[in-house]
Amino acid sequence: SQGTIGVVLKISSSVEYATRLMVCLARRRGQPPASAEALSESENVPADYVNQILLRLKRAGLVESHRGSAGGYGLAREPSSITLDQVFSAVEGPVFEDVCAKFDGGARDCRHQGRCGISPVWAKLGSLIDQYLNSVTLASLLAEPTPGASVVEAARTSRSL
């Protein structure tokens, strides 16, 4: 609509998949490593993506791999020490690109540099996004109720009666 400013923050499928895989691994903490195939199946993530994402997460030190017939993947650290910002950054880099920062360094010049009234908005928005993503850990996500969980639990309870 006319007169409104819309900011669209797009989360890629890679970031979404990585987050789901990391929550799954956090939920499995203390169990044997999970194979890429098992993670693909349990989280309904295409196997090709799972392997690529796990490699990026491993390079970032968020997951570790175990070789052998009982091998697979597990978290490299406690769920309470892994933030969404770390997961997002491992997969795709910064979530929010400061619009004005891309003009720093003189490679390209912004026509509004020095006279722009909206520059502080982008800086604040980037800071708020970073702050929030750094405050959300895998442990805090595990503590959140899963949508539909009460419905599933109610169905299980009624069947067992």
Q: Rounded distance, CA 132 to CA 148, Å?
A: 25
- Say what the pTM is: 0.77
pLDDT in tens, 87-115: 999 998 887 776 676 666 555 566 666 66
Beta-bridge partner residues of 65:
73
pLDDT in tens, 49-84: 999 999 999 999 999 999 988 899 999 999 999 999
Q: Residue 141, CB half-sphere, CA atoms under 13 Å: how many?
A: 21
